[in-house]
Structure 1
Amino acid sequence: MVRISGIEIYHEKIRYKEPFRIALGTSTESNNIVVRLVDSSGNEGWGEGSPSRAILGETLDLVFEEAKKLAAEILGKDLDSEGLYEIVMKSKSPSAAAAFDIAFHDLKAKRLGVPLYKLLGGYRSSIETDITIGIMEPDEVAERAEKYVKMGFKVLKIKLGEKPEKDLLRIEKVRERIGDKIGIRVDANQGWSVEEAIYMAEQLESFNVELIEQPVKWNDFEGLAKVRKASNIPVAADESAKTPSDVVKLAKIDAVDIVNIKLMKTRGIWGAIKVAAVSEAAGIKNMIGCMGETRLGITAAVHVSQALANITINDLDSDLLHGEEVVIEGGASISNGVRRAGDRPGLGIVKLDMSKLRLISRYGKV
């Protein structure tokens, strides 16, 4: 059990290198929550949450309001992972909940003196991530693809979700530019109708696409099942799968081949483990993705991916799209598309740039 004796809540604003556009909208910055938890011995754990109005229904005001409620509830309590999960599941802000859960598990692993991924399962020591290209004009997408391949990435994730003809042109231009040896994944972010998605699945076969992510509206489970039945390309659920019960519903109607885990959707690490367990039991593979986290939040996801065998696909790149970084030392490394969480205790975060964090609230002894 871990007793939380001090809590700090911060606001973090991080700009993107350039506007990042998907079918649901355009982002120019990430407005995140950062949480620091301290035990009675002075050990600390750090966590990050990246809110989403479009996917999680959150506003920044709601996030900090809910974070203050969580702080008041856990301060001075003896907690373990399951007990904290019961608390964060009641929160109206999944990303605030995730920040607390991540900080807790960072603290827990540090107290034990082990890297978090080894505490959670320790299945592998590194992972390979794709890198994402937002919605651009077809020639721009091809140019960006070539740039990332030269940087060493072997898998690209390309955002689609506009008119099928233009989306197909994007993939055609990319294949012409990078050849057949580089993996391509596509993500429509709910942008297609069921009929358009079935058509796209058929057309994309000739471009050797690895998966199609969230082709239709998040709540159209039956439509997703129709796409999966018609598609020879694996279909992944993202916005449709936030909780273990969502996975059960999708599995019952054979709607997907893959479920995309995001710590912001699952309310942190413990929820992600539950989603992975249900997926594995249903014969569904997992990928793991991200919202707008910096290397702080991305490192937590890398630890989860390294821990669990059922996570076989990685989309952990949001920090690489940012124009600035809060982590000064430590955290998940990146080289030629390969990420390693490292073997420092906890998340392995050594130093943060505190000038990028604005204190919102402080509780107890910190």
Structure 2
Amino acid sequence: MEIEAWISEVPLVEPLRIAPGTSYTQRSIIIRLRDGDLEGWGEACQSRRVLGETMEDALASLKKIIPAIKKASYESIEAIHEFTEGLDATPSIKAALNIALLDMYSKSEKRPLWKLLGGYRESLVTDITIGIMEPEEMAQKALKFAERGFSIFKLKLGENAEKDIDRVKKVRDALGEGPTIRVDANEGWRYEDAVRVVNRIADYEVELVEQPLRHDMLHELKMLRRESPIPIALDESVRTPGEALRAVEEDIADIINIKLMKSRGITPAIRIIAISETAGVKNMVGCFSETRLGITATAYLAQAYRNVYYYDLDCDILSMDPVFRGGSEPEGPVRRPSQGYGLGVTLSNEGYLRPVKIV
């Protein structure tokens, strides 16, 4: 087994501001595994805030496990899960290798990965994210996206409770009835503010409230869920299957948002879905700052399982120029899968990639 790695850095169409800070680019590590004529692609996105790792941490981790990677098996989904879970690596590197090995396995089986995983739905409709701005600016941005066919809007909040209420009001007034509004505070509210905001914005037909409180405020999240007329979705509070089990046992979530970088890949994410569905909790899928490659892997997971109801897969739509083509192609808000084997992605813009020496 051979491995190559690159750093990808793609400019956003415009800066994206959320409660913890502002992003200007999408950065990740792209890996390619090769075994003879067979190749598999994977992607690792880091987050110090959510995963406790930096890109430097991830690259150091990757270099350390090269001997293990050279002996990796992709003969079955369970073998891939066992291999990546057993690695002494950062979460994002485990995720990238899990994705790449599944890409290889499905190619060896001559099947598209989305069909190999289950193929429950032929397409999905993503939301579109609107970063924190002045209320009137967010309303105008929503209208521009609506003109492009988007009907599900994810509003980033968490900066100022009173202004957040006005942000939701202005967007709803601009869109009118019909379009779906979701909000995401990214851990930004205090408990008292969250109670006030969720009860006020319920008047504006909000579908869900994502991560209203700090990830470790589990007791307060449970109390807020009882107070809230809107379903509560957990993101930063649930990364792994073990944390998903804790969330359903403590009854603190209506929805669990799965991101492959948090879960350590597709196979652990499948276990989160099983835990959630058994407990009557719905799933959502989201992204960090992946290219089309990582978005495709997440979309194919979502297409495979009935319990994934909500889709926040817009990173490649918000960037200047995708590094990859094919895979989960967006046509406005609708994402349809490739019929090619594996992920079905093709490298199309090497200008955004910088090779990294790892061996």
Which residues in structure 2 correspond to 1:50-61 (within 5 Å)?
A: 50-61=45-56
Give the C-alpha shift of residue 29 in structure 1: 1.2
Q: Verify: 1:284 aligned to 2:281, yes or no.
A: yes
Task: Please list the CA deviations of residues 187-213 of structure 1 after superposition, one character each: whole Å capped at 9, or x if unmatched.
Answer: 000001112111111111100000000
Structure 2 residue aligned with 1:299, among 296, 301, 307? 296
The question of whether the paired residues in 1 share the 8 Å contact of 2:285 and 2:312 is answered with yes
Give the C-alpha shift of residue 353 in structure 1: 2.1
Post-superposition, which runs of at least 4 consecutive aligned residues in structure 1 deviate over 6 A?
Answer: none
- The whole-number CA distance in structure 1 between the counterparts of 2:164 and 2:106 is 44
How high is the TM-score relative to the length of structure 1? 0.94
Task: Please list the CA deviations of residues 71-94 of structure 1 after superposition, one character each: whole Å capped at 9, or x if unmatched.
Answer: 321203334433443443344421
Give the C-alpha shift of residue 274 in structure 1: 1.1
Change (3 A) 1:75 1:215: same
Q: Verify: 1:224 aligned to 2:221, yes or no.
A: yes
- The whole-number CA distance in structure 1 between the counterparts of 2:262 and 2:102 is 17
- The whole-number CA distance in structure 2 between the counterparts of 1:48 and 1:220 is 30
Q: Verify: 1:88 aligned to 2:88, yes or no.
A: no
Secondary structure of 1:319's match?
coil
Task: Please list the CA deviations of residues 264-313 of structure 1 after superposition, one character each: whole Å capped at 9, or x if unmatched.
Answer: 10111111111111111111100000000011110111111111111010
- What residue ranges of structure 2 are gaps of 5+ in the alignment? none
Which residues in structure 2 correspond to 1:1-366 (within 5 Å)?
A: 5-40=1-36, 42-79=37-74, 80-89=76-85, 90-327=87-324, 329-361=325-357
- The whole-number CA distance in structure 1 between the counterparts of 2:342 and 2:82 is 22
Secondary structure of 1:215's match?
coil
The residue type equivalent to 1:142 in the other structure is A
| RMSD between aligned residues | 1.4
Question: How many equivalent residue pairs?
Answer: 357
Secondary structure of 1:78's match?
coil
Change (3 A) 1:21 1:91: farther
The residue type equivalent to 2:28 in the other structure is N
Give the C-alpha shift of residue 39 in structure 1: 1.5
How high is the TM-score relative to the length of structure 2? 0.96
Secondary structure of 1:158's match?
strand
The residue type equivalent to 1:170 in the other structure is R
The question of whether the paired residues in 2 share the 8 Å contact of 1:130 and 1:156 is answered with yes
Give the C-alpha shift of residue 362 in structure 1: 5.6
Q: Which moved more, 1:346-355 or 1:20-29?
A: 346-355
- The whole-number CA distance in structure 2 between the counterparts of 1:82 and 1:73 is 17
- The whole-number CA distance in structure 1 between the counterparts of 2:356 and 2:88 is 18
- What residue ranges of structure 1 are gaps of 5+ in the alignment? none
- The whole-number CA distance in structure 2 between the counterparts of 1:91 and 1:283 is 33
Secondary structure of 2:317's match?
helix
The question of whether the paired residues in 1 share the 8 Å contact of 2:72 and 2:83 is answered with no
Aligned-residue sequence identity (percent) comes to 43
- The whole-number CA distance in structure 2 between the counterparts of 1:190 and 1:274 is 25
Give the C-alpha shift of residue 352 in structure 1: 3.1
